[in-house]
Amino acid sequence: MKQPITISKEDYLKAVLEAESEGHTVISSTLAHWLSVSPPAVTMALRRLKRDGYVDVKADGIVKLTARGKETAYRTALRHYLIERMLSEMFGMDWFRVHDEAERLEHAVSPAFEAMLLQKLGDTGTCPHGNAVLPETTAQLKNRGLLTLFEAAEHRDYSVASLYERDPKLLMFLHELGIDPSSRVRVVTRNYDQTVTVKTRNGKTTLGRPAAERVWVRQLAEPADDVRRRRKKRSGKAAS
C-alpha cells in the first residue's frame, strides 16, 4: 500500500520548486533559510527525500527534484494557489491574510476537492497577490512589462501588479501604507539613501529598498495634459 507523503516532505519539495522558480540555486542553506529550520534538520530531511526518490543531491550540494518530486511539489503549490483564490474570491478574506491560511490548508485538500476547485477557478489566473501557481523569475516578470517599485521613475503613476507573498509582515506593512494589489501608486522621489517616496490612497510614505524591490508594478498611461506640460517645459529649457 502506498504511504501518504508527510506534510514536512511536501513543504520541502514545494520550497525547492519555488526557490528554483525564483531563479535560486538550491542548496541546504537555501532550504534552511526558506523554511526557517536548522541545517541539521535540512540534512536529515534531504536524506529521507533522496531515499524515497523525490530529490537528487549532487556532489556539489545542489538539490534537484526528480520527476516524482516535481509532480508532488507542483500539486502542493497548485493546492496553495487554489486555496488562496478560494479564500479571496469565494469567501472574501483579505488578500494579506490568505497566504498563511493556505499554508495550513494546502496539506488537507483531497484530490476530489482539488478537482472541484480547479473546475471552479481554473489554474491560469493569478492569486490575490498577483502571482501565478509558481513564482516567476525577475526576467519573466520584466518580460511581462513589470518593474520593481524601487526601479520606477519619478513623477509617474503605476498599478501594483505582483507582491512577494511569503512575508506576512511585509504584506501587512504594505497594506497599511495603501499598497494593495491593483492599487495605484505614484512615485514622488527616488532618494539618495536608496529609499523611494510614493503617494498612495493613504498619502505620502517612504519605502526602503528591500520593501520596494518586493513590489512589482506596471506603468500607467500618462495623462495627455501631463505629457504636454512636460514637453513644454523641456522646449522652454532648450530655448533658454
Q: Are residues 88 and 95 in contact, defined by beta-carbon separation less than 8 angstroms?
A: yes
Q: Which three cell numbers stand for residue 142?
A: 520584466
For 189, phi and psi rounded to 5 degrees?
-145, 150
pTM: 0.87
pLDDT tens per residue, range 44-72: 999 999 999 999 999 999 999 999 999 99
Both 146 and 83 in one domain: the answer is: no
Last residue of a domain, one of 131, 161, 192: 131
Both 55 and 102 in one domain: the answer is: yes
Both 107 and 67 in one domain: the answer is: yes
pLDDT tens per residue, range 165-214: 999 999 999 999 999 999 999 999 999 999 999 999 999 999 999 999 99
Number of structural domains in the chain:
2
Place of cell 513644454: 232
Strand order across the 195-200 sheet: 147-148, 215-219, 156-163, 184-190, 195-200, 203-208
28 vs 34: CA distance, rounded Å? 10
Both 124 and 142 in one domain: the answer is: no
Q: Which three cell numbers stand for residue 72?
A: 508532488
pLDDT tens per residue, range 102-117: 999 999 999 999 999 9
